[in-house]
Copies of this chain bind each other. A is one copy, B any other.
Amino acid sequence: MTNAAPATSQQTNQQIRESYDAFKTKGLKLNLTRGKPAADQLDLSNALLALPGVADFMAEGATDCRNYGGLQGLIEARRLFSGMMGAPADQIVIANNASLALMHDTLVFGLLKGMCDSTSPWLKQGEISFLAPVPGYDRHFTICEEHGVKLIQVALNDDGPDMEQVERLVADNPSIKGMWCVPKYSNPTGTTYSDAVIERVAKMKTAAPDFRLYWDNAYTVHHLTAEKVEIANIIDLCARHGNPNRPFVFASTSKVTLPGAGLAMFASSKDNVKWLLTRLTPRTIGPDKLNQLRHVRYLKNEDGITKLMDHHRALIAPKFNKVLDVFRAKLSDTPGVSWTSPKGGYFISLEVPKGKARRVVALAKEAGIELTPAGATHPYGKDPEDRTIRIAPTFPDLPEVALAAEGVALSVKLAIAE
């Protein structure tokens, strides 16, 4: 049995192969690919499924949530998420269920129309680039790839993007119009930007007058420990340094309430909010206000969000800990292998020896464990060192997570042994 004795560096290649083969015979079908909440997490918000109730549809300002209108979103919903977004209610827009759509659409609007401080639409300015701290989130990169925006990789250090690299690039190159940032509990490494890095990002000189931080604060309340990390307020800092229009802050309730039926939010300067609403006006008369009212009734206030996130943590922290336990037990002695121990978010990042990530993913697949394709953490799906593997432990149940982690560890050892 693979879990009879901890693997050690003394294991022969033959023993590793035997352990892996034994694991394979279990015929498992496990999936560690996507950052999806598990069913027990979704159950936490089942109250939403009967809200707001047949007689509850009026919001503040005599707003009938059933009818057209209200492009910026309900005032009570904007107030509810004001703390989470780090902005006053009038600097928040609440949209339908996907913050990714807001990121996509604001980039498309930049290309076709320009930002509020652009001299012309980005498409008329030749090649446009975004900085991509790596490892990062594949769906961010895909938006740029889809629309021909060049991705320039920068290193993601333990305290955020390598700011010397970032500052040099944006100061020199006016074609760099943006940077993808997951400032807290980053996907996939769990990295949180230090206050010093956030301040440098807010005040750095950019050659492009219309440079934007795509500040995807996706995991802002998604703590895995009692520490509940807080980060500096990017909107305030950018304003203080004379760059009020720099940050586009995105978040959603996808991993707070329900991924399929949550709310997406945008926060920024007043000028950017006005710009976004102007761009959205030809597109829609307004978002689904009933779903906003539903969330207001259910979450009630910031304390409601905090309590709900504590319940999530109780369900998923053990899964992260299980993966880390298995990795510690099986991989601690394996040279060139390391992993992150995130304090929040949805991912663990596993680093294997150079040139081995794709092989690990293939071996895991053979053993019945689906992993995110190696390379997905880098632009164009190409990890130049073929080192990074993203582990998403939330969706399977705890025994499955344990098994899957073990299978991954065996796949790592075998890939190295081969």
Which residues does A use to contact B, with CB under 8 Å? 34, 36-37, 39, 42, 45-47, 49-57, 64-70, 96-98, 100-101, 104-105, 108, 111-113, 123, 139, 142-143, 145-147, 254, 258-261, 281-291
Contacts and interface: CB of A to CB of B under 8 A. Distances in A.
A69 to B, nearest CB: 7
A-B pairs with the 4 shortest C-beta distances?
A261-B290, A98-B284, A146-B282, A104-B283
B139 A282 contact: yes
B36 A67 contact: yes
Contacts of A101: 283-284
A97 B288 contact: yes
A281 B98 CA distance: 12
A112 B147 contact: yes
A372 to B, nearest CB: 14
A66 B139 CA distance: 21
A46 B53 CA distance: 8
Contacts of A34: 68
Given A36-B67, A112-B147, A260-B66, A282 B97 contact: no
Nearest to A287: B97
A54 B50 contact: yes
Contact of A259 (B37, B68, B113): B68
A258 B147 contact: no
B64 A42 contact: yes
B260 A100 contact: no
Nearest to A144: B282
Nearest to A145: B282
A46 B39 contact: no
A103 to B, nearest CB: 9
Nearest to A43: B66
8 contacts: A34-B68, A50-B50, A68-B260, A100-B285, A101-B284, A104-B284, A113-B146, A288-B291
Contacts of A47: 54
B100 A65 contact: no
Nearest to A96: B96
Contacts of A108: 108, 112
Contacts of A70: 260
A67 B97 CA distance: 11
Given A46-B57, A50-B50, A101-B284, 8 more contacts: A49-B52, A49-B56, A49-B290, A66-B261, A98-B286, A111-B112, A261-B288, A291-B291
Given A100-B284, A142-B282, A283-B101, A53 B57 contact: no
A67 B37 contact: yes
A308 to B, nearest CB: 14
Contacts of A56: 49
A50 B36 CA distance: 26
Nearest to A53: B50
Given A50-B54, A96-B288, A261-B290, A39 B64 contact: yes
Contacts of A55: 46, 49
Nearest to A38: B67
A243 B348 CA distance: 50
Contacts of A50: 50-51, 53-54
Contacts of A289: 260-261
